[in-house]
């Protein structure tokens, strides 16, 4: 078995949330993580996200930034005071041609659901480089603010239920 510890300073997670009239983007930090391989298969792993590190990258106005930042951190969205971390526990990762199909359990706000996504993973002796994208249905994690599933007639106030995390992981043996 080969274990790669995620280098949090070198790794990045970008998020995108869309609404009818546009989108918002930002970053969030990895607190800790690892991936373990047996031959060319991922046998387990875990990525812990520091929810207190949410940054919004598309809003320059300080007042609007603070209002949206507070909104993301409160109970309408991630309840960060109560849930300081989110996690992805990797159950398996099977190599398919040029990518890996990864299965795991995603936990946000202490609510866990299975998730599957595709990532490219390269191993260079003592280092790992992984790139991928995860689409997450926020309503599965009791994040219902602005969702058309739960609030009818939102019009241009509708926020799409899926948000996207794009990640680059650097790991070291």
Three state DSSP letters for the chain = CEEEEECCCCCEEEEEEEECCEEEEEEEEEEEEEEEEECCEEEEEEEEEEEEEEEECCCCCHHHHHHHHHHHHCCCCCCCCCCCEEEEEEEEEEEECCEEEEEEEEEECCEEEEEEEEEEEEEECCEEEEEEEEEEEHHHHCCCCCCCCCCCCCHHHCEEEEEEEEEEEEEEC
pLDDT of residue 18: 86
Place of tokens 């602005």: 146
pLDDT of residue 157: 55
Instruction: Give the start-to-end residue ranges of the domains of the chain.
Output: 2-172
pLDDT of residue 143: 80
Q: Give the pLDDT band of residue 79 (cuts 50, 70, 90).
A: very high
Single pTM value for the model: 0.91
State the average pLDDT over residues 148-156.
51
pLDDT tens digits for 111-128?
999 999 999 999 988 999
- pLDDT at residue 158 is higher than 80: no
- pLDDT at residue 14 is higher than 60: yes
CATH 3.40.50.720 fits 2-172, yes or no: no
- CB atoms near residue 106 (< 10 Å): 21
Of the candidates 26, 32, 40, the residue with the CA atom closest to the CA atom of residue 9: 32
78: left (phi over 0), alpha (psi -120 to 50) or beta: alpha
pLDDT tens digits for 82-99?
999 999 999 999 999 889
Chain-centroid distance of CA 108 in Å reads 10
Q: CA dihedral defined by 49, 52, 57, 60, rounded to 10 degrees? A: 180
């Amino acid at each position: 078995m080969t274990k790669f510890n995620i280098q949090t300073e070198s790794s990045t997670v970008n998020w995108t949330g869309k609404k009818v009239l546009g989108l918002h983007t930002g970053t969030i930090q990895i607190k800790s993580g690892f991936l373990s391989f047996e031959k060319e298969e991922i046998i387990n792993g875990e990525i812990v996200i520091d929810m207190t590190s949410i940054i919004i990258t598309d809003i320059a106005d300080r007042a609007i930034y603070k209002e949206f930042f507070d909104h993301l951190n409160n109970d309408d969205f991630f309840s960060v005071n109560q849930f300081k971390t989110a996690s992805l526990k990797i159950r398996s990762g099977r190599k398919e041609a040029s990518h890996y199909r990864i299965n795991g359990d995603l936990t946000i706000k202490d609510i866990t659901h299975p998730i599957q996504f595709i990532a490219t993973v390269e191993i260079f002796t003592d280092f790992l480089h992984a790139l991928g994208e995860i689409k997450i249905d926020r309503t599965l994690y009791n994040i219902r603010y602005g969702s058309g599933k739960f609030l009818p007639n939102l019009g241009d106030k509708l926020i799409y239920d899926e948000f996207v995390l794009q990640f680059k992981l650097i790991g070291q043996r």
